[in-house]
Amino acid sequence: MTDAPMTAQAASTATAGDILSRHLTAQAGAFLRALPLAVGEAGARPGTAAAVPTAGTADLLRAVRRVGGLLHTFGSLFEQAWAQESRTELRWLLNLLALEPGYVRRSARLLGALDSLSGSDPEGTGMLAGHAGAPKARALLDRQLTLARTRAHSTVLQELRSARLHALADRMTLLVGEAPLLESAGGRASTVLLPQAAAAFAALSATAQQLPLHRAATPYGGDGMRRLGAVPAARGAVDADAALAADDAPWARLRILVKRGRYALEVCGRSSSELDELDAVLARQQEAADAAVTAATAARTPRITPATAYVLGVVHADQRLEVESARYLVGRRWPELPPGPDGWLELPPEGWGHVAAPGTV
Amino acid sequence: MTDAPMTAQAASTATAGDILSRHLTAQAGAFLRALPLAVGEAGARPGTAAAVPTAGTADLLRAVRRVGGLLHTFGSLFEQAWAQESRTELRWLLNLLALEPGYVRRSARLLGALDSLSGSDPEGTGMLAGHAGAPKARALLDRQLTLARTRAHSTVLQELRSARLHALADRMTLLVGEAPLLESAGGRASTVLLPQAAAAFAALSATAQQLPLHRAATPYGGDGMRRLGAVPAARGAVDADAALAADDAPWARLRILVKRGRYALEVCGRSSSELDELDAVLARQQEAADAAVTAATAARTPRITPATAYVLGVVHADQRLEVESARYLVGRRWPELPPGPDGWLELPPEGWGHVAAPGTV
């Protein structure tokens, strides 16, 4: 692994620190360019938001995810306290920025599902077509998600002007100049970085192996509705909420590890369309799981009619079926992916000096 | 096809009429033996019934299905008015006898689904575990299905003593002695029977080709919940009930044709485990579709709580998912089945003189 061929002259002389600094400089620069745009965008839309984050917010999210991922995967090469604090602050901003676009996407997903389930077009009629509860359930979901989004928006507006964010921006400014690297980062890039990237993929494989991927690969296995939380940690869950939380957690963890793997590959000058696709499927899995919770919660709203509750039950099941369908895809694809942690890194390197084009997510 | 090899001396000399008479005598005999048992059984259980029909009723159903199937497939060899009337009367008895076991199976299916969805065991927790509406929905379904079953039982008890049933028994007695065959039944068995059996399989293939089997073979294609009635006849259905009815009808028809094919093979001394399995999967498909309607109907009961309605929505979706899952199996298996009408009949004949062992369904 340490003997991986180098494709450019620069590659053979670059240290691990050189490579990491170059990546972090690029991402911190992207952060600082996107931040004022994101703040401006947030202020400019008092009540509405698109289904995807606007350009500045999207760029900011991209940079935040990558800097955080690199500080995790290659964390031992940085001054420890600084890296740890930076990751905490980046995670805070990530959660903050993801909140509003998350509600917008969830709203699009749930209202889209309801429209599909209650619609009638040449592609087929939904099982709720003509049902009296459908418009009421739609209005209820729309109202609750708009409220949640509006609240999230206020929080974002407030925090984007906070001292905490200014301090984080200062950290990123520092990173553009000079990352606080340890002496160990002075070693050859391939010798130092590859084992750490390999460790990220080892963590990914280990987490995947704890999931019921084989069962998920059997269509209609019931993992979405009847057999939640069949992962060991969830056994004995006494109610569906606890089982769902225990069930979804390892899948959410898998997605985090897939993202870390993607960003580690970028540092190594590589990319993997399989990993990008896996990330997208896991995103769908998680959004459907979150949307299912929203439908179940909406059904507990006091004083709704039985017809509304009935429709929300169907929507809840429909979203759990989406969860199962996404897991099916993961279960089918996983065995075809590069085996073991080294497999991912054995792709032909495009050169160590190369800073990968900004990823799309 | 008319040159199919004969395995026994008897076979080469048997006429079509000989073969049909032998089968009809056997089945009509089974009918007459099972009838008093079935009547006795019906009278003996005033309030309870097992999940499967009791022995006498099951035997009676088997014989009724087979005689009816043969009178359809080989109908042109019988005196027309007699065959037509007999089929009408047999269908009446079939519907009558199937009613009560149908409700018992539907009750087992729906309560089992609810228990699975609201249960918590090592195999996994259901998405309704701990939900306040689950016991109420269970009690509601149990009450409504018990009532339906009790009503069906009374109807059966009454009709089993009717003049109409006595007249049908007289018809079966006639059949044990001599079936009213036309002169054309005097031809060689292979020359006369094979084309008629082939026509039954041609009808089966034609119906299958009108179904969206290719799409059904794609897991999670949404045929159960979001894309009902994508068959041509259902396009433009304005509500879910109409779409469901239009959607389920051709699948129910496929099942009838599969059964006719099975019984035609029996007359030809052949059998097909693939066809038996297909019949079983289609039975599951239809029972799930019927159970879904029951759940949707129960949700319209006045004065139920929203929690109960919500649970019924989940159960409805769960049963539609079962429909989709069964159709997926059909979609996957169909292309592997013998191609064209002749394919089924090209199986090695076990001899024309042979009366196949009574089928299981």
Query: Which of helix, strand or coil describes residue A188?
Result: strand
Whether residue B132 lies inside any domain: the answer is yes
| Cross-chain residue pair A124–B225, CB shorter than 8 Å | no
Same domain, A148 and A210: no
Q: Kindly state whether A235 is in contact with chain B, defined as any CB-CB distance less than 8 angstroms.
A: yes
For residue A125, what is the enclosing H or E element?
A: strand A124-125
What CATH number corresponds to the domain at position B80? 1.40.20.10
Same domain, A196 and A165: no
Q: Write out the two tokens for B88.
A: 């009408």
Long-range contacts of range A213-219, CB-CB < 8 Å, 24 or more positions apart? A213/A330, A213/A331, A213/A334, A213/A335, A214/A331, A215/A331, A216/A324, A216/A327, A216/A328, A216/A330, A216/A331, A217/A328, A217/A331, A217/A332, A218/A328, A218/A331, A219/A328, A219/B219, A219/B220, A219/B325, A219/B328
Residue of chain B whose Cα is closest to the Cα of A221:
B325
pLDDT of residue A42 exceeding 90, the answer is no
User: Please, which pLDDT band fits residue A337 given cuts at 50, 70 and 90?
Assistant: confident
Picking from A159, A187, A215, the residue at the C-terminal end of a domain is A187
The number of C-beta contacts closer than 8 angstroms across A and B is 193
Query: Distance (Å, rounded) from C-alpha B229 to C-alpha B184?
Result: 43
Whether residue A8 lies inside any domain: the answer is no
Whether residue A9 lies inside any domain: the answer is no
Question: Who wins on pLDDT, B231 or A154?
Answer: A154
ipTM: 0.88
Q: Strand A124-125 relative to strand A120-121: parallel, antiparallel, unpaired?
A: antiparallel
Whether residue B350 lies inside any domain: the answer is no
Query: Distance (Å, rounded) from C-alpha A184 to C-alpha A98?
Result: 35
| Cross-chain residue pair B230–A124, CB shorter than 8 Å | yes
For residue B220, is it left (φ>0), alpha (ψ between -120 and 50) or beta?
Answer: left
Question: Who wins on pLDDT, A82 or B12?
Answer: A82
| Chain B: closest CA distance from residue A105 (Å) | 20
pLDDT of residue B358 exceeding 70, the answer is no
Phi (first) and psi of residue B160, to 5 degrees: -70, -10
pLDDT at res. B246: 83
Same domain, A203 and A237: yes
| Domain coverage including residue A267 | 188-350
Picking from A187, A221, A242, the residue at the C-terminal end of a domain is A187
Q: Are A4 and A190 in contact (CB under 8 A)?
A: yes
Tell me the residues of chain B between 309 and 338 that have a Cβ less than 8 Å away from chain A. Answer: 309-314, 316-318, 320-321, 324-325, 328
Query: Distance (Å, rounded) from C-alpha A219 to C-alpha B326?
Result: 11
pLDDT at res. A177: 84
| Cross-chain residue pair B328–A124, CB shorter than 8 Å | no
Question: Who wins on pLDDT, A318 or B248?
Answer: A318
Same domain, A154 and A232: no
| Cross-chain residue pair A313–B318, CB shorter than 8 Å | no
Same domain, A155 and A198: no
Instruction: Give tens-digit pLDDT for A215-226.
Output: 899 999 888 888
pTM assigned to the model = 0.89
Picking from A143, A165, A187, the residue at the C-terminal end of a domain is A187
Same domain, A163 and A226: no
Same domain, A182 and A233: no
Q: Are A321 and B225 in contact (CB under 8 A)?
A: yes
Whether residue B4 lies inside any domain: the answer is no
Share of chain B above pLDDT 70, in %: 86
Q: Kindly state whether B228 is in contact with chain A, defined as any CB-CB distance less than 8 angstroms.
A: yes
Same domain, A203 and A246: yes
Same domain, A183 and A194: no
| Option in B237, B292, B313 nearest A310 (CB) | B313
Q: Kindly state whether B297 is in contact with chain A, defined as any CB-CB distance less than 8 angstroms.
A: no
Same domain, A31 and A166: yes
Torsion sign (Cα): A98, A102, A104, A105: positive
Residues of chain B found within 8 Å of residue A225, distances taken between Cβ atoms = 117, 126-127, 314, 317-318, 321
Instruction: Give tens-digit pLDDT for A266-292.
Output: 998 888 899 999 999 999 999 999 999
- Among B247, B314, B322, B324, the residue to mutate for chain A (most A Cβ within 10 A): B314
Residues of chain B found within 8 Å of residue A110, distances taken between Cβ atoms = none
Same domain, A131 and A244: no
| Chain B: closest CA distance from residue A234 (Å) | 8
Whether residue A249 lies inside any domain: the answer is yes
Whether residue B60 lies inside any domain: the answer is yes
Whether residue A200 lies inside any domain: the answer is yes
Task: Report the number of distinct structural domains present in chain B.
Answer: 1
pLDDT of residue B252 exceeding 50, the answer is yes
Same domain, A170 and A215: no
